[in-house]
Structure formats: structure tokens, C-alpha cells
A = this chain, B = another copy of it.
């Protein structure tokens, strides 16, 4: 894929140099906005602005929204005022808002000055919604109809106003106070006779979200109800916009990425990895590494505390990595399963005892199985003698037990008190379980080996 893009980009540069503009336009017109944007990524900025001008107006807007922020900025800087106005007029409202949010202040000023007054008002309105709220990702292009319209009126209304709407697959019925009272699909408008009235055929059981609703919750509603667009209403139930399914998909992908980053002890970032500078990556990773390093010194101090015991039976040291790793892995398995279950709402706080009971049984099964294998290995290969083997294997069972218990309860408790459960993943659990496993190890050693 990457190689192919590079080849096509090279072809385009050759055509560009020999000024074969009409051939270029023909090639570009057969492509999709997302593909053209990917091609442009491979070209120098001055080439892009030349090629971009060859695109038909609608395709140009489609391509523009798919491009990275830095390319968009360079392009806007190369635009004349009238070129900029053309693009801004062609953008969907949610894309225009995204653009304004990403560009530096002087570019934003130019964009807003070229937008028509109504667009400018809407952009400013939408910028006020909190980050990651339904209001911040919604678009204001939708078709609204009145309850007393006939299907014929409705289709006429769509013909008159619907060209620019991002989605007219579903039309929204609002009353005289702009409150959302029902929905009608475009399919129904076509299938019903011309004189049917909206209020008779509309679906009145409308699921909508509030402007302030978290975008993650909105995306989950899409996954649950199989919608292609979700109406967004204000505090008084008035329709103010819609969220389309493509934005919901982006949110779902971003939230999964964020959870994975948090689970790996990284502060999440919006940008893709290759666009981040080393310094930015460093800043997203170092706080957690520092925190976990300092916490791990407690584990070290447990080892120091038992220094004398260790010196008399130094063979015990060689099992420390295995015990620590197995504890960390066992705890990580439980915590990641529970964190994902919580974020998909498959697990709720009320399930906490069911979860604990399940993990206890799993922990005993895993712990016993690991202990048996390890006991065999210690007796047959390492020849440690039965008492050391017993200490190691009992510790293993106890460690896995504690690890699973800590791993499954911490994320649920974190969520209950309003913390992000994703942070309670392997690195955090490992640090706690390491200390626990060493304490257990030395207690068993004192008991059975009389150190």
C-alpha cells in the first residue's frame, strides 16, 4: 500500500513537470478524497497546492478534510481569499469546526473572515461546547420537517434545501418550538403515498443525546442501536445538530487507542505516532516511568529487609524474577479483561462480587497448574530439594491469587470513585503485586526454611 502510493505520487510529479494538467485532473477525478489526501502526503507542499487547484470543487473539499493539519495549514496559506472562501463554503459544519480548532490563530482569523456570517455564527456557537462532548462533534447540516407536512411537501422541501445536508437518510420532525418530536427515513418518504402526513408515519420513539453528553457515550449508542446518525438536542429538547456514524467510528477508534495507551502507562495523545516529536513522546511516557520506578523501590526495600535471610540461602534470589513476572502477568490478565469489560459496559459495579468469585476460581486453577509444573521442574531439573521447591510453589499459588484479586478489583473500584480504570492496568498492578509476592515469599521461607 505504502509502496503503491509512492509510485503513483512519482507518476504525478512527472506529469506535473511536463505540465499535463488535463491528464492529471482525469486521474485525480477517479479517486476518492481519502486516497488523494494519502497521495498528497508524499509530495512537497508547493506541488500539493498546484494539484489541489485541479480538483473539482466538491472533491477538493472532500480531500481537504482528509489531510493532516500541517498540509491544510500550508494550503490555506497558499490560497487567495476567494479560493479559501470556496473551500470553507463547501465544508460540512463539523469539519469546519475541526479545522478552526486545529489551525493557529492567524489562520483561524482568515478562515472566519472568509466564511459567510451565518457559518461564522455557527462555528463560534459550536466552539463553545466542551471538548469531547456531543456538541463538539455534531454537524448542523440536517433536514428538519414539520409534523403537518405531507410526504409530497417533504420531498419538495428536501429538493429545495437538501443538496448540502451531510445526511438526509433520516429526516427530523420538529414542532413549532424546534423540539424534536419524531424521525422519518428517506426510504419511508419514497415508500408511503404522497398525501401521508409526517405525524402519522413518523417514528416517535426517538433516541437522542444531549449536547453535553460525552462523545464516548454517544459512540456507544451508535454501537448499541445501529444508527447512521444520532440527533443532538439542547437542555430544552430542541434539535441543534446530528452526529453522523463516521464521527462515531472515529471516536470508538480513538477511545480504544487511548485505553491501550493508558494501560501501557502512557499519557494519551491525539496525534499519530510518526507525527509526534521525540520530545512529545518523552513527555507522555516519563511521568509514569518515574512514578512506577519510585514505587518499585518499595519492592526493593522488602528485599533489603530480608538481606540476612537471603545471604544464608542465596538460591532463593534466583526465583525472584519468575515470581515477580508471573504475578505481574496474572494480575495484568485480570485487570485488562475487567478494564475492557467496564469500558464496553459489559461489567458494572454491581457485578463486583460475581467478578471476584470468578477470578478466585480462575486464580486457584492457574496457580495450582503453574505450581505443579514448577514443582516438577524444581525437583527434576534444578534439584533444589523439597523444602525450597515447596516455598517457591506455595508462593506461586498465593501470588497468582493476590494478583488476580488485585487485578480484578482495582479497576472496578477506580471506576466507582470516578477514576479512569484503564490506568489500573499491568504496570500499576505489577508494582503492587511485586511487593506482595516478595512478602509472601519470605514469610513462607521463614516458615519452612527457618531462616
Chain A residues at the B interface, C-beta cutoff of 8 Å: 1-3, 29-32, 34, 155, 158-159, 162-163, 168-169, 186-187, 189-191, 205, 207, 222-226, 228, 244-246, 248-250, 252-253, 256-257, 259-261, 263-266, 272-274, 278-279, 281-282, 285-286, 288-290, 292-294, 296-297, 299-301, 303-304, 307, 310-311, 314-315, 317-322, 324-326, 328-330, 332-333, 335-338, 340-341, 344-348, 350-351, 354-355, 358, 361-362, 365-366, 369-370, 373-374, 377, 400, 425-427, 430-431, 434, 438
Contact = CB atoms under 8 A, between A and B. Distances in A.
A222 B34 CA distance: 11
Contacts of A225: 32, 34
Given A186-B169, A264-B426, A282 B321 contact: no
A337 B293 contact: no
Given A32-B207, A249-B252, A263-B336, A326 B162 contact: no
3 shortest interchain CB distances as A-B pairs: A264-B336, A226-B246, A256-B256
Contact of A325 (B162, B246, B333, B430): B430
Contacts of A29: 205
A266 B337 contact: yes
A296 to B, nearest CB: 4
A344 B257 contact: yes
A322 B296 contact: yes
A429 to B, nearest CB: 10
A361 B427 CA distance: 23
Given A31-B205, A293-B322, 16 more contacts: A29-B205, A34-B225, A162-B190, A186-B186, A223-B249, A223-B250, A252-B256, A256-B260, A257-B344, A264-B425, A281-B362, A293-B373, A304-B315, A307-B318, A317-B317, A325-B431
A293 B370 contact: yes
Given A285-B333, A289-B370, A321 B322 contact: no
A358 B289 contact: no
Contacts of A278: 358, 361-362, 365
B249 A347 contact: no
Given A187-B186, A265-B333, A329-B292, A319 B300 contact: yes
B285 A366 contact: yes
A162 B296 CA distance: 64
Which of A163, A205, A325, A351 has the most chain B CB atoms inside 10 A of its CB?
Answer: A325
Given A303-B317, A347-B274, A332 B296 contact: no
A362 B300 CA distance: 26
14 contacts: A34-B225, A162-B190, A169-B169, A169-B228, A228-B245, A249-B249, A260-B260, A264-B333, A279-B365, A289-B326, A292-B325, A307-B314, A325-B427, A325-B430
Contacts of A261: 336-337, 340
A366 to B, nearest CB: 6
A293 B325 contact: yes
A252 B272 CA distance: 18
A304 B333 contact: no
A335 B273 CA distance: 12
Nearest to A434: B321
A264 B332 contact: yes
A207 B31 CA distance: 10
Nearest to A339: B260
Given A225-B32, A289-B329, A369-B290, A2 B300 contact: no
A1 B348 contact: yes
